[in-house]
Structure 1
Amino acid sequence: MCGILALLSHKPIIGNYLKSQAIKSAQKLKHRGPDGTGIYQTKYACFAHTRLAIIDPTGGNQPFVNDNLILCVNGEIFNYKELKNEYPEYNYKSKSDCEPIMAMYSALAQNSTLSHNQIASMIGKLDGQFSFILHDTNTDMVLVARDPFGITQLYYGMTKDGIIQVASEMRVMEDCISVNVVPGGHYLYFDVKNPVIESIPYFQDTPDGTWLRQSIDGGSVYDYEPSGLLSQEEQNVLQNQIKTAFEDSVIKRLMADVPFGILLSGGLDSSLVASVVVKYIRAHPEIYGEGVDIHTFSIGDKDSTDLPYARKVADFLGTKHHEISFTVEDGMNAIPTIINNLETYDITTIRASTPHYLLAQKIQSLGIKMVLSGEGSDEILGGYLYFHQAPTDEEHQLECKRRVLDLGYFDCLRADKSTMSNGLELRVPFLCSKFVKLCINIHKDVKTQNGIEKYILRKAFDIYENGIPVYLPSDVLWRQKEQFSDSITYRWIDTLRNDTDKEVRDKSLVAYNNREFLYPYNTPQTTEAFYYRQIFETLFPNREKTVKCWAPNTRWKGISSSDPSGRVQASHFNPLSQ
C-alpha cells in the first residue's frame, strides 16, 4: 500500500512547475510510503508515488512505465500470479503484484478507447484492495479506479487553472476548487486534453457484484433478493461454504515479503481472522518455518471489556501477544491529530480511529509492516445491535447493502488512514467480493437466530474435535457484539461526550446555536459532533461534502437515538445513558 498522486493538464506541460508541485505534494504523503518516492512526467501529466514495500521490496518501484503506459497503484492484488499467467505476452518489468493491471489494459486498449463493459470486465478481474491511476500516452486517456468496497481511499478535484488532481488523501489538494470522493466500485475515464469527468459504477457489472444495481444517474438503488429460510441440511451446506470462502480469503491475504501481524480486539471477527491465520501458518512450516512467532496486537484501558477476551484468544492460539495500554487522556489529546490524519468529522470514525491510530503507531515501531483485521463482517451480516430492530427481511437486507457500500466513508477509511498514517498496511479478509456475494442476501432469520447476531458465521466455525474447540473458545465465538470504540473502555465515549459538551458550551455556544447556518450540510446534531466539525473546517475548509455521517437506522421502531455507539441499543448488556 502506498500514496499516489496525479496532476493532469489539458494542455502540454511547459517547464517543471507541475513536477515541482508533485514533489512537494509527495512529501505530504510520505507517511503512506516511507520506503521510497517516485516521480514521472509526461506531456500532459505528472505522477508521484510514495511506497510502502510489501511485495517485491527490492523491485516494484512506481510509477510503472512501459512503452505508452504509466501506472500508479495504491493496493495489493492478491490474484496477481493468476493474472500474469492469463496475460503472459506482456513484457513484465518487475515481480510486483500490481503490474498485471497494465497487462490487462494493454491487451484491451490496442491504441483505442475502452467501452464501459471492457473497463468493468478488466477491473472485475482484480481480486484485492486498490486504487490506481493509469495514463495511456497513445490515446491520452486516463483511467482512475477504486476497489469495490473502498478499502483504499481516493479523491479527485480540479484547480482554477484546470489541473485535475487525483490523490490518496485530500490534504495534497489545497489548490482544488472542490474535492470529490471516488466511491468504492467506481471509475473515472476521460481524455486528459478534453476532460469530462464522471464517476461511473462498475462493480454491479462484474460477476461478484450481481447483488447490486445502480440507478442510471449513479445513485444507489439496491435490489431486494428474497432468499428464504433454510432447512437444517441447507444451513449446514451454507455454513461450510461460508467457512471455506472466509478461510480462502484470509489465506490469500497472507502474501507478503515483510513481517506481519493481526489486530486482535477479542471480538468475534478479529478472533476468527487470527484463528485462521494461525491454523494455516502452523500447517505450513515449509513456508513459514517451524514454531515461527505469530504476532497479535490489542489495545485498551485497564477496564476494557475486550482485553480479557483478546488474551484468552492469544493463549488459545499460542500467539506472541502485544497488549498496548490506552488512556482516555491520551485519546483526548490525540483528537486534533486524528481529524487531521483521517480527514473526517464523523463521530464514530473519530471515536474508533483514536485507539486504532495509537495502536498502529506502536505496531509500526516494532518493525511490523502489514496487519490483518476484521472490518466488514458487521455490515455484510447485520452484526450491529440495531439490526435486531429490522422489521422485515427486505429492510434488513437493504440496510446491509447500504452499509457495505458506504464502508469507504467509515470503517475502511478508518482502517486505511489510521494505519497508513503510521506506514502500516491493513488487510480485511471479510471484504473479499466472493465472500460478500455469498453472504449479503442471506435471510435475516438465518443471519441472526435466537437473538444472536451473525449466528450463521459463528455456527460455521463452531467445530469441536475430541471435545476441544478447533477455532475459538466458545465464550469468544458466541460473545455479544461490542463496537471497538465502546469496548476500548466505556469511559472513552462517556468522557468524549462530556468533555466536548463542556468545551463547546464554554467557548462556542453562540456558534453552536447557529450551527444550521454555519454548517448547512451534515449539520452537527450534538455538541460532540460540533466540536469535531469545527476542527475539520479549520483543517479542510470547503471539503465538508467528502464526509458522510454514520448513524443507526432511526426509521426502525425501537431506535430513538442517532448516536452510533452500540450501547444506546436496548439489547446491549450495559446500555449507555441518553
Structure 2
Amino acid sequence: LSHERLSIIDLHSGRQPIQGCKGAWMVHNGEIYNHQQLRDTVLKDHTFRSKSDSEVIVHLYEEFGYDFCDKLDGDFAFVVVNRDDFIAGRDPMGVKPMYYGLDDRGRIYFASEMKPIADQCRTFSTFPPGHFYTPKTGFVKYYKPKYEDHKTAVEPLNLKAIREALTEATRKRLMSDVPIGVLLSGGLDSSLTSSIAARLLAQAGKKLHSFSIGLNAESPDAAAARKVAAFLKTTHHEIHFTVGQGIEILEKLIWHLETYDVTSVRASTPMYFLSKAITDMGVKVVLSGEGADEIFGGYLYFRNAPSTEAFQKETIERVQKLFTADLLRADKSTMAHGLEARVPFLDKAFL
C-alpha cells in the first residue's frame, strides 16, 4: 500500500496507510463528508487513531465486512487489505479516479492513476464508479439509485427540495481544516454554488475567495465572473494565460491527464493554470460546477429531444458517463497542483 497525501482534514495525525482496530489497513483518496456522523453512530464502539475522515472506511469494513460502501457519503477511491482478504471501492459518480490492472501472473493492482501500474500490468482498465471489488465477489454494483430507471421520474417539480438539497450539498463540501475557494466561470452553475457558499461562509464570519481564468480581461467568462463576484462580494482573483503558454504545457498536461482526448485536453488547459495560481495563494480546496448541465439538460442539443422520455434518458446516461470526461479532467488538472475540486451538484442526496 502506498499513498501520497494531500492533507485537508486532520493535518497532523491522518497519515496513511491507516490501521483499523484489528488487522486491517487501508489507503484512501477523497473526502468522506459524513465521517463524524458515522463515528457517532454505527462506529461509536470503535477506537480511532486519528481525526481523519478517511479512517472511518477501515472501521466500517471491520464492522460490516463488504457491505458498507452505500453508508459513505463522499468522494472516494480506497483499498482495504486484511491479510489475504481485500476490498477496493469507488464513489458512486467516479469523482475520484481509480484504475485496476492484471499482471502476467493474474495478480491485481489498484491505483488512482495508470502511471504507477503501467509497467507491472499487462492489461488495465477504469474501475467502474459505484462498485466495489473483492477477490470473493468480483465487481459488485452497490450504488443503485431510483433515478437510473427513467420511468421513476414522475414526481412534480419541487423547487424548494432542489434548493434545500443543493444548499446542503454545498454546506457539507465546505468541511475543511484549510482555506476553501470557488471556481467561478460566470455561468449559471458555478454562480449558484458560489452564491450558496458565500452565504454559508458569511454566517460563519468568513469571506469567500473566487477564481476565474481567461486569455485576457475581455474574455466573456472573465467578464461574467467579475460581475457575479461583485454581486456576491467575494474576494475575486482573475488569472490570464497566453496561447503560447498553453501549447508549452501540453506534454506535461497529457502526462497528468493520461488521455489524448482533444476536448479533455483543451478544457483542462485553463484549469491547469488556474489550479497552480490557486494553490500558490494557499487555497487547497475549491467548489466546482461539474454535473449541472448533465442533470438538468443544459447543453444546447437537449432542445432537440424528441420526447420528455428521451430527454430524461439522455440526462441519466450523461450523468453516468461523467467519470469518463468532465470529472476526470476536473480531478486530474486540479490534483496536478495538489488542489482538491469538490462537486456539489453530484451529491448523492441532491441527485
Scaled by the length of structure 2, the TM-score of the pair is 0.95
Q: 2:220 is matched with which residue: 305, 315, 322?
A: 305
Q: Is the 8 A contact 1:133 1:144 kept in 2?
A: yes
Query: Which amino acid in structure 1 is aligned with residue 213 of structure 2?
Result: I
The equivalent residue for 1:185 is 130
Cα displacement string for residues 321-358 of structure 1 (whole angstroms, at most 9, x for unaligned residues):
11000222222222222211101122221111111111
The equivalent residue for 1:558 is none
1:385 CA drift (Å): 1.0
The equivalent residue for 2:147 is 211
Q: How far apart, CA to CA, are the structure 2 residues paired with 1:154 and 1:199?
A: 14
Query: Which amino acid in structure 1 is aligned with residue 88 of structure 2?
Result: V
Q: Is the 8 A contact 2:130 2:141 kept in 1?
A: yes
Q: 1:362 is matched with which residue: 246, 265, 277?
A: 277
1:143 CA drift (Å): 0.5
Q: How far apart, CA to CA, are the structure 2 residues paired with 1:97 and 1:226?
A: 34
Q: How does 1:66-81 map to 2 (within 5 A)?
A: 66=20, 67-81=22-36
Query: Which amino acid in structure 2 is aligned with residue 259 of structure 1?
Result: P
Give yes or no for the alignment of 1:273 onto 2:217.
no
Q: How does 1:563-574 map to 2 (within 5 A)?
A: none
The equivalent residue for 1:134 is 80
- 3-state secondary structure, aligned to 1:93: coil
Q: 1:224 is matched with which residue: 150, 156, 176?
A: 150
Q: Is the 8 A contact 1:182 1:199 kept in 2?
A: no
Q: Is the 8 A contact 1:226 1:394 kept in 2?
A: no
- 3-state secondary structure, aligned to 1:353: helix
1:226 CA drift (Å): 5.6
1:169 CA drift (Å): 0.2
Q: Is the 8 A contact 1:185 1:203 kept in 2?
A: yes
Q: How far apart, CA to CA, are the structure 2 residues paired with 1:100 and 1:293?
A: 31
Q: How far apart, CA to CA, are the structure 1 residues paired with 2:274 and 2:235?
A: 16
Q: Is the 8 A contact 1:260 1:368 kept in 2?
A: yes
Structure 1 pair 388–106 and aligned structure 2 pair: CA distance change class (3 A): same
Q: Is the 8 A contact 2:201 2:207 kept in 1?
A: no
The equivalent residue for 2:9 is 55
Query: Which amino acid in structure 2 is aligned with residue 73 of structure 1?
Result: H
The equivalent residue for 1:90 is 46
1:229 CA drift (Å): 8.4
The equivalent residue for 1:24 is none
Q: Is the 8 A contact 2:212 2:239 kept in 1?
A: yes
Q: How does 1:468-483 map to 2 (within 5 A)?
A: none
Cα displacement string for residues 495-548 of structure 1 (whole angstroms, at most 9, x for unaligned residues):
xxxxxxxxxxxxxxxxxxxxxxxxxxxxxxxxxxxxxxxxxxxxxxxxxxxxxx
- 3-state secondary structure, aligned to 1:176: coil
Cα displacement string for residues 54-74 of structure 1 (whole angstroms, at most 9, x for unaligned residues):
000011111011321111000
The equivalent residue for 1:259 is 179
Q: How far apart, CA to CA, are the structure 1 residues paired with 2:97 and 2:180?
A: 22
1:161 CA drift (Å): 3.9
Q: Is the 8 A contact 1:364 1:422 kept in 2?
A: yes
Q: How far apart, CA to CA, are the structure 2 residues paired with 1:228 and 1:348?
A: 35
- 3-state secondary structure, aligned to 1:98: helix
Q: How does 1:47-446 map to 2 (within 5 A)?
A: 47-66=1-20, 67-86=22-41, 87-109=43-65, 114=66, 119=67, 122-137=68-83, 140-173=84-117, 174-190=119-135, 198-204=138-144, 209-212=145-148, 223-225=149-151, 227=153, 230=156, 235=157, 238-285=158-205, 292-302=206-216, 303-436=218-351
Q: How many residues align?
A: 347
Q: How far apart, CA to CA, are the structure 1 residues paired with 2:85 and 2:153?
A: 42
Q: What are the ranges of 5 or more consecutive residues in structure 1 without an aligned counterpart?
A: 1-46, 213-222, 286-291, 437-578
1:228 CA drift (Å): 5.1
Structure 1 pair 229–90 and aligned structure 2 pair: CA distance change class (3 A): closer
Q: How far apart, CA to CA, are the structure 2 residues paired with 1:434 and 1:258?
A: 25
Q: How far apart, CA to CA, are the structure 1 residues paired with 2:311 and 2:59?
A: 41
Structure 1 pair 229–293 and aligned structure 2 pair: CA distance change class (3 A): closer
Query: Which amino acid in structure 1 is aligned with residue 13 of structure 2?
Result: G
- 3-state secondary structure, aligned to 1:348: helix
Give the root-mean-square deviation of aligned CA atoms: 1.5
- 3-state secondary structure, aligned to 2:236: strand
1:320 CA drift (Å): 1.0
Q: How far apart, CA to CA, are the structure 2 residues paired with 1:77 and 1:324?
A: 31
Q: What are the ranges of 5 or more consecutive residues in structure 2 without an aligned counterpart?
A: none
1:160 CA drift (Å): 1.7
1:159 CA drift (Å): 1.6
Q: How far apart, CA to CA, are the structure 1 residues paired with 2:304 and 2:238?
A: 35
Q: How far apart, CA to CA, are the structure 2 residues paired with 1:261 and 1:425?
A: 10
Query: Which amino acid in structure 2 is aligned with residue 128 of structure 1?
Result: G
Q: Is the 8 A contact 2:150 2:316 kept in 1?
A: no
Between the aligned residues of both structures, percent identity stands at 43
Q: How far apart, CA to CA, are the structure 1 residues paired with 2:155 and 2:110?
A: 46
1:367 CA drift (Å): 1.1
Q: How far apart, CA to CA, are the structure 2 residues paired with 1:403 and 1:386?
A: 12
Cα displacement string for residues 9-67 of structure 1 (whole angstroms, at most 9, x for unaligned residues):
xxxxxxxxxxxxxxxxxxxxxxxxxxxxxxxxxxxxxx001100000001111101132
Q: Is the 8 A contact 2:147 2:153 kept in 1?
A: no
Q: How far apart, CA to CA, are the structure 2 residues paired with 1:338 and 1:200?
A: 33
- 3-state secondary structure, aligned to 1:434: coil
- 3-state secondary structure, aligned to 1:61: coil
Q: How far apart, CA to CA, are the structure 2 residues paired with 1:227 and 1:100?
A: 34
1:199 CA drift (Å): 2.9
